[in-house]
Structure 1
């Protein structure tokens, strides 16, 4: 791509950065693109662009810090709207097992398309598509049809099932991770880092749950009530619902990256020969915690949040 197609946002006044990028994106024809040059990760822009323009662009990191970030943003061609990994799982949760086996993030990173993910991870997309097709041939999935649930009911389900699980698990996992690090850290120093990373997860998720329960979810319930009673869109102090959703999705991604770091530190929770009972329980509970978070974030990122954006749009019309 030519130098003229590079937008150096470091020289733009902060309040004008995103409007300038949006104006440039909107002026492009399908198939055209440009590179943004920045001094920090522009991930918040990704979520804002996704929320306000939809899945009509490709996002490719060309330089990923620590001093310079460059991202190529390309407007997709007409008819190029490929379904995302998250959407595939939202339609049939059985497909999550295919992605999990291959190390493909379907929740925190679920807004990427299958071709984007496979290209980045060097996976043969045809083999993945064959495994997904095999699931389709098995017939309809049994179990909960979360897609059909009312959003207020789904919000309560997330709180009662997943938020409560996180709150109940954090004290135990914090204590046992620190204990195992003290006892085994001299022979397995990675355990000290595991305890440190989980402490960060525990703090961040605790604050995250409060924001969802006190700000975002109550507003979603107000929108559901307004739709049922024929009332206008309720007012909020945060503007459009995409704003808190963007924040929640960024925090989801952060938690997912932290758990991925723990998985790498533990070599996919592989137990050494000298692992004691507490050591074994720690790894078992950490993997259980990760699996629950996958389902938790999937319900929000791939079902609750997109449907909330659609609901808000319908109330504006």
Structure 2
């Protein structure tokens, strides 16, 4: 099967660095991970062959990275908790602080990203609630290898991931796709750089859960090892 026929989620899972290529072309590999590369490219009027060539080059010269598809559920969960859950808890309060300052100082500017602080607060509340449900309910089930018992909570978490994806789209709309005005101050630049990092982290976070952790749990439920 050519890469163009493979899903974005599978490509992101199997080729180190593929997610950065998808960011460059604005392809949703986390919530939209089930679409094939060909379908996703066509929807955005992109040349799928050009993207495939980038991915082939990556696959041929890929640096050694941890293959989370080969990790145990417990190992992957530990990574998600440390690399994403705790990082989001550090990122969002600082982004909210920066957004409040920008909105206050530049309120008279037509480019002012009015409403970003409030939207980030809403995202913080929804993401914290989501992460707590994973930490307290779903992850302990999966870490013990009981994926067959997790179908319902996984369905709920996938739906909430879709909601996070919609919230990210709203965040980008409020910031004009993170486009800085020519005279942007350092605080404004720091805000948009931080939002870009948060967006990329959240998409990578959702990818690991949707396309690896949850898919492996579903596969284990269908083909139990014992």
Shared fold (TM-score, shorter chain, > 0.5): yes
Say if 1:223 and 1:312, in contact at 8 Å, map to a contact too: no
C-alpha displacement at 1:177, in angstroms? 1.2
Residue 299 (1) aligns with residue 222 (2)? no
C-alpha displacement at 1:189, in angstroms? 5.8
Residue in structure 2 matched with residue 105 of structure 1 by the alignment = 28
C-alpha displacement at 1:88, in angstroms? 0.5
Residue in structure 1 matched with residue 81 of structure 2 by the alignment = 159
Question: After the TM superposition, which segments of 4 or more aligned residues of structure 1 sit over 4 Å from their partners?
Answer: none
Say if 2:111 and 2:181, in contact at 8 Å, map to a contact too: no
1:105-144 matches, within 5 Å, as: 105-138=28-61, 140-144=62-66
Residue 182 (1) aligns with residue 104 (2)? yes
Please state whether the residue corresponding to 1:105 is helix, strand or coil.
coil
Q: Rg: which structure is higher?
A: 1
The Cα offsets for residues 259-288 of structure 1, whole Å up to 9 and x where unpaired, read as 223223323322213322221211111111
Task: Determine which structure has the larger strand proportion and give its number.
Answer: 1
The Cα offsets for residues 137-191 of structure 1, whole Å up to 9 and x where unpaired, read as 32x4412111111111111110111100011122221222122112213214651
Q: Distance in 2 between matches of 1:153 and 1:86?
A: 20
TM-score, normalised by the number of residues in structure 1:
0.65
Say if 2:30 and 2:204, in contact at 8 Å, map to a contact too: yes
Residue 242 (1) aligns with residue 165 (2)? no
| Alignment root-mean-square deviation, CA | 2.1
Aligned length: 222
TM-score, normalised by the number of residues in structure 2:
0.89
Q: Distance in 1 between matches of 2:151 and 2:13?
A: 20
Residue in structure 2 matched with residue 256 of structure 1 by the alignment = 165
- Where do 5+ consecutive residues of structure 2 fail to align? none
Q: Which of 1 and 2 has higher RCO (CA within 8 Å, sep 6+)?
A: 2
Say if 1:92 and 1:141, in contact at 8 Å, map to a contact too: no
